[in-house]
Amino acid sequence: MPTALIAEDEPLLAANLQAELQRLWPELQIVASVGHGEAAVQQALALAPDLLFLDIRMPGMTGLEAAQAIAEDWPDDESNPFPLIVFVTAYDQYALQAFERAAVDYVLKPVLPERLAQTCTRLQAALAQRAQPQSQAGTPSLDDVMQQLRGLVAQGGVGTAAGAAPAQQGTLKVIQAGVGNAIHMVPVDEVLYFEAADKYVRVITAEREHLIRTSLRELQPQLDANRFWQIHRGTIVRCDAIGTALRDEAGKVTLTLRGHGDKLTVSRMYAHLFKAM
């Protein structure tokens, strides 16, 4: 019995999608239907479904960010292959060639039964091929999924209005961190790394830590991308503050920092940044 998870913040659309899937694919078991990205990540990792139907536009974590988070934390186990992803979006101008690859498909809102039927046929074929003993050719690996997600992220993501370009902002020079009635002016050149912490971002320097009330998503476009590298969905590090990048036998990369004791873990999504010249 193939299994699927639906992440859609509009209850009527989620119910309609589930009903159409059950009509088109009676054998498919919907193991969870959730309304936001964080729940999608938790349930996907807990239930390990075969398929993920992820709404692109959800409050908080977008569908693309949820897919990235699931891929980062998915166990590297051949007996537990990464789910096939179907993005559900109201727009059709986003890197459709990337969506059309085997690892990632898409359906448009409102979901048309004819288009969803094509998706079901495609997913059934992919699952059947995956189930063949010693026949993984043509089925997406976790590395394939990572590569595709990197491509979508590099194109500006898929969560904004059709045709809209990512907002361009000036390069940030100083972080204004409030502490009580005082505002600490922290030069960005002194920041070792930024780390997401609930509704705040931790700003770590060699001397102390600051908290700023913003999100990493809002902060990142204001940073110099040549100096500040994202190494995890919740961490951005100043690359010239990195002392060493250590890769263990399992391929996990850990960073040490110059003049600071913290060690940072690099997720699968960004491990490709660290290769010897």
Residue range 233-270, pLDDT digits in tens: 899 999 999 999 999 987 889 999 998 999 999 998 89
Task: Look at residue 166 in the predicted model and tell me its pLDDT.
Answer: 45
Residue range 107-144, pLDDT digits in tens: 888 889 999 999 999 999 989 988 876 555 555 667 77
Task: Look at residue 117 in the predicted model and tell me its pLDDT.
Answer: 95
Task: Look at residue 169 in the predicted model and tell me its pLDDT.
Answer: 58
DSSP the chain: --EEEEE-SSHHHHHHHHHHHHHH-TT-EEEEEESSHHHHHHHHHHH--SEEEEESS-SSS-HHHHHHHHHHHS---TTSPPPEEEEEES-S-S-HHHHTSTTEEEEESSPPHHHHHHHHHHHHHHHHHHHSTT--TTSPPHHHHHHHHHHHHHTT-S-S-TTPPPPP-PPP-EEEEEETTEEEEEEGGGEEEEEEETTEEEEEESS-EEEESS-HHHHGGGS-TTTEEEEETTEEEEGGGEEEEEE-TT--EEEEETTEEEEEEEPGGGGGG----
Task: Look at residue 159 in the predicted model and tell me its pLDDT.
Answer: 42
Task: Look at residue 139 in the predicted model and tell me its pLDDT.
Answer: 58
Task: Look at residue 102 in the predicted model and tell me its pLDDT.
Answer: 40
- The pTM for the full model equals 0.77
Task: Look at residue 153 in the predicted model and tell me its pLDDT.
Answer: 66
Domains of the chain: 3-154 (3.40.50.2300), 174-273 (2.40.50.1020)
Give the chain's residues under pLDDT 70.
Answer: 91-104, 133-141, 151, 153-170
